[in-house]
Structure 1
Amino acid sequence: MTDLMRPERRPNSPLFSSGPCAKRPGWSPQVLENAFLGRSHRAAEGKARLLSVIEEHREILKIPADYKIGIVPGSDTGAVEMALWSLLGARPSTILAWESFGSGWATDVVKQLKLADAEVVTAEYGELPDLGAVDWKRDVVFTWNGTTSGVRVPDGNWIADDREGLAICDATSAVFAMDLPWEKLDVVTWSWQKVLGSEAAHGMLVLSPRAVERLENYTPDWPLPKVFRMTKGGKLIEGIFKGETINTPSMLAVEDVLDALKWAKSIGGLEGMIARADANAKIISDFVEASDWLDFLAKTPESRSTTSICLKITDQWFTDLDEGDQAKAAKALVSLLAKEGAALDIGAYRDAPAGLRIWAGATVEADDLAALMPWLDWGYAELKKTFK
């Protein structure tokens, strides 16, 4: 490996960040020319565009007609925290954490909400907790796809149909790339800047009838900030789920996500989006299987993400380094590939084990991933020669 030639072909787009993610192929600022700017978002046309975002999501993702869909502030984080602050406390809760964001939700519940009857079930990076042991008499909070670990739940079979608690799912790097069993989920959140490759700052919040029932029949003991309030006088504020947002949205971002949704439909909707992500993931999988220095952080194939693909370096030269030098070496590799224009923003998440994280969602072109793979080998060979 030490004598590898620098690859001749670079990706046309070196954008492999796991958030914000690459824009859809062919995107340009011209798609924003007709954005509803300089007007109130509460004007008829403004509300119509916001409602269109909701309706397009429902159609493409096949969200049941009796589920509520809202546009909320604060990206996916805001959507998750709206759910946690508004719904938890009515019954005991379990938070499943096998990566950084799940751990963050556990911190919210245990240290901020201070719920005494909350339990946190953890697993190491690369693994899942024992899903079969989950008690569905409790509310359960979990990520569908661990963006920082590259580990996803394989399916929804572990979620009880007759559950008494709510299934609260952070699905931000799964929606539009994985087929979610909506009937198994009571709260689902995501953000526009992930699989759609759109702009950040806005979150999506989906509520099942069971979640709505909880909202209308339970009042938490703690005060709720205005941006978290989804009920008034014991009734759901229906306007939130018809495009009447709690706070002022960016209509520029709204125009951008409408363009992304239009593109998703043009490539075959949900099935087309999933197919592109699966094909992209296979390119990386084939490369890793043939590699003598890389492996998936996810330990079992069925739990490997097809979007935020996290890789660990298994070569003995690297594993013999102490933890601090491993982190420095991985960062040096990432910097080298960025300097060469081969890949940008592919370092592992700051809390994750040292390694690489490559976004393979639908907005990434397969040819670009194929072009990147030889650069990984070349970059690692260069790293071994130059790292001190």
Structure 2
Amino acid sequence: MDLSKKRTFNFNAGPSALPLEVLEKAQKELINFHGTGMSIMEMSHRSAKFEDIHNGAITQMRKLFSIPDEYEVLFLQGGASLQFSMIPMNFLTIDQQAGYIMTGSWSEKAYKEAELFGKPYEVASSKENKYSNIPALVDFQFNSDDAYVHLTSNNTIYGTQWSVFPDTGNVPLIADMSSDIMSKPVDISKFGMIYAGAQKNLGPSGVTVVIVRKDLLEKANTEIPTILKYSTHADSNSLYNTPPTFGIYMLGEVLNWVEEKGGLEAIAKNNEVKAKVIYDAIDNSNGFYTGHATPESRSLMNITFRLSDEALEKQFLSEAKEAGFVGLDGHRSVGGCRASTYNAVPLEACRALSDFMIHFQTKHS
């Protein structure tokens, strides 16, 4: 059976689309993985077979993302939301400052957690512009003795994305890349730490990837619970407790898929083409559709837009759903429309959405 004929146009913001090839392979291997007579979900995380899967995923991530040897790659749980707390727990003391660049709801949540452990402050913010842009680098002022500077690389709710990252000198730069990790090449050496929930570009929900410089672990706070120390997971190869085994297996297969597609350079080019198809439908609509993000800050992962009339907007979303488009509703906190075009969303789906948008405008203009 050709499963692709029965699949929807999935624009969900997360959990989001996964590569069909990966899903089909997982389906074949689900009950009897490589002749073991059991599923990966039944397999001991201490077994040699799972160790191969686990280490293979780490190796593939290092290769594709060009991660230097001086960084640890960890597979944790709790999502990016737990990282909002773990970061200040490990790297911020009560009398230290940490700079936070405010670009949306996730930045706000990270900042709030940091207030429990130290003295966070706003380096810059675009809140007054309803988070429609990434703050200009010239506006940044941070202290040379800050514990770290934190940013969110892509903002799912408002549809903005960093194109150039700030140079923070000797102050570690920490980035929440949950919604655009592995969507393009990144110079890892600019960061002290990168973290990301897997459920956008890396696999199913349940796995959190942390890429952290080893020297930061040596300076981290030791007076916190064992399981909340990054060093605990680094010392045990992320096997301190039972990991999300199936999620790690899927993550590894998604990384293999990225390699088969030509690596991050090819993925990035495809993401640019996909986003342009939809942004063109917005920009050429003469105001029928209005994008939330300013053009220079637009995300290639989450395209946010509105229609001028609220009733018409509801009709658009209703007809889109009937036409097989899933996940186009904007985040509940802001409303509107949002198309999430993560790595696994095919170009054909973006073209279909563009055609639908143009057709809907023609009917209602």
TM-score (norm 1): 0.80
- CA 1:176 to 1:116, structure 2 compared with 1: closer, same or farther past 3 Å? closer
CA distance in 2, matches of 1:81, 1:148: 21
CA distance in 2, matches of 1:100, 1:329: 27
Aligned to 2:350: 369
By how many angstroms is 1:225 displaced?
A: 4.2
Counterpart check, 1:178 vs 2:184: yes
Aligned to 2:64: 60
Q: Which residue of 5, 11, 20 corresponds with 1:16?
A: 11
Aligned to 1:94: 99
CA distance in 2, matches of 1:359, 1:149: 11
Bigger RCO of structures 1 and 2 (CA < 8 A, at least 6 apart): 1
- CA 1:84 to 1:62, structure 2 compared with 1: closer, same or farther past 3 Å? same
Aligned to 1:230: 230
CA distance in 1, matches of 2:90, 2:54: 23
For the 8 Å contact 1:16–1:345, the answer to whether it is kept is yes
By how many angstroms is 1:273 displaced?
A: 1.7
By how many angstroms is 1:130 displaced?
A: 3.8
CA distance in 2, matches of 1:226, 1:219: 8
By how many angstroms is 1:83 displaced?
A: 2.0
**What is the percent sequence identity of the aligned residues?**
19
By how many angstroms is 1:136 displaced?
A: 4.9
CA distance in 2, matches of 1:11, 1:193: 22
Amino acid at match of 1:134: Q
| Aligned positions of 1:1-388 closer than 5 A | 13-26=8-21, 27-28=23-24, 29-33=27-31, 34=33, 35-89=39-93, 91-110=96-115, 112-113=116-117, 115-116=118-119, 118-119=121-122, 121-123=124-126, 124-132=130-138, 133-137=140-144, 138=146, 139-156=148-165, 158-160=166-168, 162-163=169-170, 165-196=171-202, 198-215=203-220, 218-219=221-222, 224-231=224-231, 238-240=234-236, 242=237, 244-292=238-286, 293-301=288-296, 303-313=297-307, 315=308, 318=309, 326=310, 330-338=313-321, 340-352=322-334, 354-379=335-360
CA distance in 2, matches of 1:153, 1:144: 5
Q: Secondary structure at the match of 2:133?
A: coil
Aligned to 1:6: none
The alignment's C-alpha RMSD in Å is 2.6
CA distance in 2, matches of 1:80, 1:70: 16
Gaps of 5+ in 2: 34-38
TM-score (norm 2): 0.85
Aligned length: 344
- Superposed CA deviations along residues 7-52 of structure 1, whole A, max 9, x for unmatched, are xxx9963111111111113332225452433232122322332122
Gaps of 5+ in 1: 1-9, 319-325
For the 8 Å contact 1:12–1:368, the answer to whether it is kept is no
CA distance in 1, matches of 2:344, 2:64: 16
Amino acid at match of 1:135: F
For the 8 Å contact 1:77–1:203, the answer to whether it is kept is no
- Superposed CA deviations along residues 328-356 of structure 1, whole A, max 9, x for unmatched, are 76455323311x1331111111223x321
For the 8 Å contact 1:79–1:204, the answer to whether it is kept is no
Amino acid at match of 1:56: Q
By how many angstroms is 1:86 displaced?
A: 1.4
By how many angstroms is 1:297 displaced?
A: 1.4
For the 8 Å contact 1:31–1:259, the answer to whether it is kept is no
Amino acid at match of 1:351: S
Q: Secondary structure at the match of 2:76?
A: strand
CA distance in 1, matches of 2:15, 2:76: 18
CA distance in 2, matches of 1:78, 1:173: 16
CA distance in 2, matches of 1:203, 1:87: 18
CA distance in 2, matches of 1:230, 1:37: 25
CA distance in 1, matches of 2:141, 2:362: 44
Amino acid at match of 1:260: V
Q: Secondary structure at the match of 1:37?
A: helix
CA distance in 2, matches of 1:103, 1:151: 15
